[in-house]
């Protein structure tokens, strides 16, 4: 079968020390400290063989994620941009949907509590949590200490077939009859990124009450999926701060009420204008530029009259954030970090929201074939205006 594989050379930087769970030459938790000269190619591989708890899925759609782009991108010294857990060579792809073609005898479908059957439309979590470590046992699979990741350390779904343990697999049966077959699988491939947004604004951010105002900073796929979720949750006004015209326009399609271009206008002033001086009840940092946007958020919280605002950090960034404790104290505001998409009933709720009319399809702006995945990953490295580029299989 055809696959898209990323390979790179294991050449740790001088001051890099092998971590406790790193495996010399193979796996590291700090990708950008180790992997050099990333190379993407279309490669032929065998169809995976499944174990008793696994399912084999024939892939129908798989989207390109920002992490795919950063894993395949090298800095001036040739090291990959992506800072996280990686083991190369690996078949990329983790935002996928497909159809079950084979299931192990103990591969249980959570929809029926019985063994998976051929033909079930499915998607899967990307985080393979172990279920044994303390965070897992405490109910925090997004913080698993023995994590493996589909398309990062385990062969992913830019492949005609992908195998996944049934515990991570979710049925898309609920979307049948609500979408055309084509749109069902396109929508199904968006469950994973939408769940990242859901985990951020609902699970970690505590959700909103109908009538609340929310501000989304950054109109990438996660920020825009959050727009759809919060609109569905009853937000009175969703305000998107995003300098790119194409992304701002896309935001409108997803339900944004007011747009702010932070490079041309004062974010806090405009936010207060459109919320009657209140500011937002929930802020989502989805830019990856916290040092740039936090002063704006802080100003809005300080000058606005809303108490109890929550700021959720979902974008990954190593940069320090300038903060004034006084603002958080006086305004009863809080800041929380958000990671992952697993657990807490998130996947099934995202799927049932999609089944009941939450349309995230506008996120997909370009459809390609498997052979075109490498060139499109490179295109995204140059900062093209596309939102989600999705690989559609025949
Ligand atoms: Zn992703
Ligand atoms: Zn675990």
Counting ligands in written order, the one closest to the CA of 340 is 1
Counting ligands in written order, the one closest to the CA of 145 is 2
In the predicted model, what is the mean pLDDT of the chain? 96
Confidence at residue 28, expressed as pLDDT on a 0 to 100 scale: 94
Distance CA 215, CA 268 (A): 10
- Confidence bin at 318 (pLDDT 50/70/90): confident
Question: For the residues 161-187, what does the mean pLDDT come to?
Answer: 97
Distance CA 147, CA 144 (A): 5
Question: For the residues 289-305, what does the mean pLDDT come to?
Answer: 96
Distance CA 136, CA 334 (A): 25
CA distances from 270 to 85, 279, 288 (A): 39, 9, 22
Residues near ion ligand 1 (Cβ under 5 Å) = 65
Confidence at residue 166, expressed as pLDDT on a 0 to 100 scale: 98
Dist. CA 59 → ligand 1 center (Å): 16
Dist. CA 237 → ligand 2 center (Å): 38
Dist. CA 340 → ligand 2 center (Å): 13
Confidence at residue 356, expressed as pLDDT on a 0 to 100 scale: 97
Dist. CA 122 → ligand 1 center (Å): 17
SS3 of 70, please?
helix
Confidence at residue 385, expressed as pLDDT on a 0 to 100 scale: 79
Percent of the chain with pLDDT over 90: 93
Selected catalytic residue, list 67, 90, 195, 309: 67
- Confidence bin at 117 (pLDDT 50/70/90): very high
Confidence at residue 183, expressed as pLDDT on a 0 to 100 scale: 97
Are 11 and 31 within 8 A, CB to CB?
Answer: no
Dist. CA 150 → ligand 1 center (Å): 10
Question: For the residues 224-242, what does the mean pLDDT come to?
Answer: 97
Counting ligands in written order, the one closest to the CA of 95 is 1
Distance CA 25, CA 285 (A): 35
Dist. CA 228 → ligand 1 center (Å): 18
Selected catalytic residue, list 70, 94, 341, 344: 70
Element spanning 183, H or E: helix 181-188
In degrees, rounded to 5, the angle at the alpha carbon of residue 285 between the alpha carbons of residues 289 and 78 is: 40
8 pLDDT higher than 80: yes
Dist. CA 165 → ligand 1 center (Å): 19
Instruction: Give this prediction's pTM.
Output: 0.95
Quick one: which of 214, 282, 226 has its CA closest to 250?
Answer: 226
**Contacts (Cβ under 8 Å, ≥6 apart) of 350:** 191, 194, 195, 198
Dist. CA 31 → ligand 1 center (Å): 16
Domains, the chain, ordered by start: 2-190+360-392 (3.90.180.10), 197-337 (3.40.50.720)
Q: List, in sequence order, every residue forming a beta bridge with 312; answer none if it has no partner.
A: 284, 336
Distance CA 300, CA 303 (A): 5
Quick one: which of 24, 110, 15, 66 has its CA closest to 388?
Answer: 66
Beta pairing class for 310-313 and 282-285: parallel
SS3 of 220, please?
coil
Counting ligands in written order, the one closest to the CA of 131 is 2
Confidence at residue 108, expressed as pLDDT on a 0 to 100 scale: 98
Tokens linked to 388: 């989600």
Question: For the residues 214-229, what does the mean pLDDT come to?
Answer: 96
Distance CA 150, CA 92 (A): 8
Read off the pLDDT of residues 334-353 as tens digits, 9 standing for 90 and up.
999 999 999 999 999 999 99
CA distances from 187 to 98, 141, 235 (A): 11, 24, 23
Confidence at residue 383, expressed as pLDDT on a 0 to 100 scale: 79
Confidence at residue 322, expressed as pLDDT on a 0 to 100 scale: 87
Beta strands in 256-341, from DSSP E residues, in sequence order = 258-260, 282-285, 310-313, 334-337
Question: For the residues 111-129, what does the mean pLDDT come to?
Answer: 97
Dist. CA 18 → ligand 2 center (Å): 21
Note if 70 is an active site residue: yes
Dist. CA 339 → ligand 2 center (Å): 14
Read off the pLDDT of residues 261-293 as tens digits, 9 standing for 90 and up.
999 999 999 999 999 999 999 999 999 999 999
Are 89 and 6 within 8 A, CB to CB?
Answer: yes
Confidence at residue 394, expressed as pLDDT on a 0 to 100 scale: 83
Percent of the chain with pLDDT over 70: 100
Beta pairing class for 148-149 and 161-165: unpaired
Confidence at residue 384, expressed as pLDDT on a 0 to 100 scale: 78
- Confidence bin at 380 (pLDDT 50/70/90): very high
Counting ligands in written order, the one closest to the CA of 132 is 2
Residue 262 has phi, psi (to 5 degrees) of -70, -10
Counting ligands in written order, the one closest to the CA of 68 is 1
Say which residue the tokens 């459109």 belong to: 274
In eight-state DSSP terms, residue 74 is B
Tokens linked to 26: 């193979």
- Confidence bin at 132 (pLDDT 50/70/90): very high
Are 263 and 289 within 8 A, CB to CB?
Answer: no
- Confidence bin at 316 (pLDDT 50/70/90): confident
Confidence at residue 378, expressed as pLDDT on a 0 to 100 scale: 93
In residues, how long is the chain?
Answer: 394
SS3 of 82, please?
coil
Q: Longest Cα pair distance anywhere in the chain, in angstroms? A: 60
Confidence at residue 317, expressed as pLDDT on a 0 to 100 scale: 84
Note if 344 is an active site residue: no
* Range with lowest mean pLDDT among 106-120, 167-181, 211-225, 308-322: 308-322
Dist. CA 336 → ligand 1 center (Å): 20
- Give the full edge-to-edge strand order of the sheet including 2-10: 35-44, 2-10, 90-91
């Amino acid at each position: 079968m055809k696959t898209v594989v990323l390979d790179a050379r294991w050449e740790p930087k001088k001051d890099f020390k092998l971590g406790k769970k790193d495996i010399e030459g193979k796996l590291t938790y700090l990708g950008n400290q180790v992997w050099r000269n990333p190379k993407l190619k279309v490669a032929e591989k065998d169809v995976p063989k499944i174990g008793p708890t696994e399912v084999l899925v024939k892939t129908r759609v798989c989207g390109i994620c920002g992490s795919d782009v950063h894993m395949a991108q090298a800095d001036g010294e040739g090291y990959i941009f992506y800072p996280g857990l990686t083991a190369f060579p690996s078949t990329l792809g983790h935002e996928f949907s497909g159809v079950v073609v084979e299931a192990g005898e103990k591969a249980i479908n959570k929809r029926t509590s019985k063994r998976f059957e051929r033909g079930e439309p499915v998607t899967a979590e990307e985080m393979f949590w172990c279920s044994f470590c303390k965070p897992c046992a405490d109910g925090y699979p997004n913080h698993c200490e023995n994590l493996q990741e589909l398309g990062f350390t385990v062969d992913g779904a830019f492949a005609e077939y992908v195998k996944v343990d049934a515990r991570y697999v979710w049925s898309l049966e609920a979307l049948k009859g609500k979408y055309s077959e084509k749109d069902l699988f396109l929508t199904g491939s968006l469950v994973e990124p939408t769940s990242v947004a859901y985990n951020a604004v609902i699970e970690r951010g505590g959700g909103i009450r109908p009538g609340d105002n929310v501000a989304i900073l950054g109109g990438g796929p996660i920020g825009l999926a959050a727009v759809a979720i919060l609109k569905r949750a009853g937000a009175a006004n969703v305000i998107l701060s995003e300098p790119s015209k194409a992304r701002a326009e896309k935001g409108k399609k997803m339900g944004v009420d007011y747009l702010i271009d932070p490079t041309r206008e004062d974010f806090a002033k405009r936010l207060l204008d459109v919320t009657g001086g209140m500011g937002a009840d929930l802020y989502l940092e989805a830019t990856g530029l916290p040092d740039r946007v936090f002063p704006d958020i802080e100003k809005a919280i300080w000058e606005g009259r809303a108490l109890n605002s929550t700021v959720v950090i979902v974008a990954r960034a190593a940069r320090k954030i300038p903060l004034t404790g006084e603002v958080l104290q006086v305004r009863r505001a809080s800041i929380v970090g958000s990671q992952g998409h697993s657990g807490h009933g998130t996947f099934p709720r995202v799927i049932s929201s999609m089944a009941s009319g939450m349309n995230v399809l506008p996120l997909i702006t370009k459809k390609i074939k498997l052979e075109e995945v490498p060139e499109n990953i490179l295109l995204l490295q140059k900062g093209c205006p596309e939102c989600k580029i999705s690989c559609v299989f025949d």
